[in-house]
Amino acid sequence: MGTKWRRALLEGLLLCLVFFVIFGPISSLLIWSIAIRWYWPHVLPQEIGLAYWKQALGLQRDWAIAAVSIWGAFGTSMLVALVSTALVMTMAIPAGYALARFRVPLKALILLLFLMPKAFPQQPIFVNLLPTFTRWGLAGTVQGVILIHILVCLIFGVWITTSAFKAIPQELEEAARSVGATRWRTFWKVLLPLAAPGLLVSTVFVFITSLTEFTGTFFIGLPFVTTLPMLLYSSSGYNMQFASVIAIVLLIPSLLFMVLIQRVFRPEYMGGIAG
Amino acid sequence: MKGLRGGTGGFLPLFLLLPAVAFILVMYVYPFALSIIRSFTDEAGSLSLVNYHKAVSLYGRDILFSIQVAVLGTLISTGLSLALAAYIRLSDSRVARLVNSMSRLGIFLPYVVVAQMMRSFLAPHGLLNVLLANMGLVDIDTPLQLFNIRGLTFGFLWKETPFITFIVLSGLQVIDDTYIEAARSVGARTRHVILRILLPMIKPTIAIAVVLTFCTIVSTFTLPYMIVAGNPTTVTVDIAHRVTYFGDYRVASALGVFLYLIVGAMAIYYLRRTVREEVYGY
């Protein structure tokens, strides 16, 4: 009886601790996003309201509220993320198919290329691309930022796509081939529909990675390309409320993604670890 | 089956891989090589160690700071993760399931959001200090100063502990219950089941999770840039200063090479293991 109570007590403590550590910072964002006035050291704001949300969403314009409409940055972010995702998947699907289904010459070397950007810091890469991008007229342009986002996202696209194809047993394709279907037809009619859920995970993961990309955009895009993370950064120093509103907007896609793919997400997606 | 199992694909697989490989060569390998070459080049364009000399004399302390944060963050988050994962694996209580779902949250939240969260939560007049002050644990006039190594480490723990827990737990869940039952039936205590049986069985998985966490902490720019006030700070922040304030790509590149060196052994271990598993299957 004694150990049972002790166990329940310990579990209760653990639950409280985990809850506080995880939701403390998140609730700080939530409270700040609706705080109009919040003076130290009060536990809760003196005045709350949706003024910053309304202003950020373009529903009102009040010079007394230090927030601008986020729709411009939202549009830029969506444009960059949609184009980057389309281009990444166009490259990642053939690459993933080749890695999953063929004996590729120089496979070790090719895999190394796709793993290195995860192992080594990417910041020196962005820094060293900047002079080249400036020469080519790509620095500070949406096109330049898209190129950087493709770089950041491509490896995830290739890993998840490869693992999505690998998860489909080859026997079905072999059956199709043995009754005379061409390789192209087999890929299109057999493999692609079967791998579709995995490819969808890959696409959404790439999209969200692009949507929330910070470091590459910071070096290549600033000060002319303002994505949502850049807008968050620029308001973060002086305006806790507005920054919190943007952070929550950026948090929503990741949360939706997490809820939706909870069951199908596998550890090898995160690290290119062999499944 | 010819072609499908490989062998006679001919040039087709290389053709399929060409766009992705070409992109990585131009946009990754080329600037990677450039960063190393630039780091050894002086203003006149000749071979020199002047950038390294500057990097060490100006930012030597920050290089140590980066290593310190990475080691501290990796050790603590690994310890917490192993304990959490083992607890979730062995317990089938409601609390364990709840802790599991809550801990997933950190994996998917982007660093830029986590950074803003920490900036407001850990501020001198932020929510954490507000709560501690009202509980009487902190003096109102001298709140905790956390925009330094402590807050930075907390931010990294917040983000990386869920990641390691997720990877380790996936490894633990593959282990059959019979191993645990067999050990218990000969009188092994929970502590022994975890330390002598479960964790040793998934050593390679733990190693990969630890290595990736270390590399991520060393490489992350967003979090230290947004929450560390003043000095010392991480090398990633110094690189940004060097570029945005001085337009100095050479010293920035030398600092970048220091980052490569810090992750060096770990990164190579990860690359070798992953490539070997994919190509040779062990």
Q: Looking at the structure, tell me whether residues A133 and A258 fall in a common domain.
A: yes
**Does a structural domain hold residue A172?**
yes
**Does a structural domain hold residue A57?**
no
Domain count, chain A: 2
Report whether B241 contacts B27 (CB < 8 A). Answer: no
List chain A residues with pLDDT less than 70: 1, 263-264, 266-275
Q: Looking at the structure, tell me whether residues A186 and A92 fall in a common domain.
A: yes
Q: Is it the case that residue B192 has pLDDT exceeding 70?
A: yes
Which residue of B102, B120, B259 is in closest CB contact with A244? B120
Q: Is it the case that residue B172 has pLDDT exceeding 60?
A: yes
Query: Is B167 in the A-facing interface, judged by CB distances under 8 Å?
Result: yes
Looking at residue A164, which CATH number applies to its domain? Answer: 1.10.3720.10
Which residue of A18, A97, A270 is in closest CB contact with B16? A97
**Does a structural domain hold residue A54?**
no
In a mutagenesis test of the A interface, which of B101, B255, B278 is the best target, namely the one with the most A β-carbons within 10 Å? B278
In a mutagenesis test of the B interface, which of A214, A222, A226, A233 is the best target, namely the one with the most B β-carbons within 10 Å? A214
pLDDT score of A222: 86
Find, in chain B, the residue whose alpha carbon is nearest to that of A96: B17
Per-residue pLDDT, averaged over B4-13, amounts to 64
pLDDT score of B45: 87
pLDDT digits (tens, 9 = 90+) for B110-169: 999 999 999 999 999 899 999 999 999 998 889 999 999 999 999 999 999 999 999 999
pLDDT score of A271: 59
For residues B180 and B2, the model is more confident at: B180
Contact A122 B219 (CB under 8 A): yes
What CA–CA distance (Å, rounded) separates B240 from B155? Answer: 20
Q: Looking at the structure, tell me whether residues A141 and A104 fall in a common domain.
A: yes
Average pLDDT of chain B?
92
The sign of the dihedral angle between the CA atoms of A53, A59, A64, A68 is positive
Q: What are phi and psi of B54, to 5 degrees?
A: -60, -45
- Distance, in angstroms, between B192 CA and closest chain A CA? 18
Q: Is it the case that residue B108 has pLDDT exceeding 70?
A: yes
Which residue of B3, B163, B275 is in closest CB contact with A112? B275
State the virtual CA torsion across A141, A144, A145, A150 in degrees, nearest 10.
160
pLDDT score of A84: 98
Which residues in chain B have their CB less than 8 angstroms from residue A14's CB?
Answer: 87, 95, 99
Contact A18 B32 (CB under 8 A): no
Q: Please report the residues numbered 36 through 65 in chain A whose beta carbons come closer than 8 angstroms to any beta carbon of chain B.
A: 40-43
Q: Looking at the structure, tell me whether residues A15 and A138 fall in a common domain.
A: no
Report whether A230 contacts A236 (CB < 8 A). Answer: no
Report whether B193 contacts B144 (CB < 8 A). Answer: no
Q: Looking at the structure, tell me whether residues A14 and A112 fall in a common domain.
A: no
In a mutagenesis test of the A interface, which of B77, B116, B122 is the best target, namely the one with the most A β-carbons within 10 Å? B116
**Does a structural domain hold residue A96?**
yes
**Does a structural domain hold residue A63?**
no
Q: Looking at the structure, tell me whether residues A78 and A44 fall in a common domain.
A: no
Which residues in chain A have their CB less than 8 angstroms from residue B116's CB?
Answer: 29, 232, 236, 243-244, 246-247
- Distance, in angstroms, between B196 CA and closest chain A CA? 22
Would you list the DSSP string of chain B? -TTTSSSS-TTHHHHHHHHHHHHHIIIIIHHHHHHHHHHTB-TTSSB-SHHHHHHHHHHHHHHHHHHHHHHHHHHHHHHHHHHHHHHHHH--SHHHHHHHHHHHHHHHS-HHHHHHHHHHHSSTTSHHHHHHHHTTSS-TTS----TTHHHHHHHHHHHHHHHHHHHHHHHHHHS-HHHHHHHHHTT--HHHIIIIIIHHHTHHHHHHHHHHHHHHHHH--HHHHHH--SSS--HHHHHHHHHHHH--HHHHHHHHHHHHHHHHHHHHHHHHHHHHHHHH--
pLDDT digits (tens, 9 = 90+) for A89-146: 999 999 999 999 998 888 999 999 999 999 999 999 999 999 999 999 999 999 999 9
**Does a structural domain hold residue A59?**
no
Contact B31 A128 (CB under 8 A): yes
**Does a structural domain hold residue A11?**
yes
Q: Looking at the structure, tell me whether residues A40 and A88 fall in a common domain.
A: no
**Does a structural domain hold residue A251?**
yes
Q: Looking at the structure, tell me whether residues A244 and A198 fall in a common domain.
A: yes
Q: Print the domain residue range for A255.
A: 71-271
Which residue of A107, A125, A243 is in closest CB contact with B31? A125
Give B4's pLDDT tier (boundaries 50, 70, 90): very low
- Distance, in angstroms, between B168 CA and closest chain A CA? 9
Which residues in chain B have their CB less than 8 angstroms from residue A232's CB?
Answer: 112-113, 116
Q: Looking at the structure, tell me whether residues A131 and A35 fall in a common domain.
A: no
Which pair of structure tokens corresponds to residue B132?
């501690």
Contact B215 A92 (CB under 8 A): no
What DSSP designation does A226 have?
-
Which pair of structure tokens corresponds to residue A86?
């389309």
Q: Looking at the structure, tell me whether residues A129 and A37 fall in a common domain.
A: no
Q: Which domains does chain B have, with CATH numbers?
A: 47-280 (1.10.3720.10)
pLDDT score of A270: 65
Q: Looking at the structure, tell me whether residues A101 and A24 fall in a common domain.
A: no
Query: Is B37 in the A-facing interface, judged by CB distances under 8 Å?
Result: no
Which residue of A14, A115, A247 is in closest CB contact with B275? A115
Q: Looking at the structure, tell me whether residues A26 and A121 fall in a common domain.
A: no
Q: Is it the case that residue B90 has pLDDT exceeding 80?
A: yes
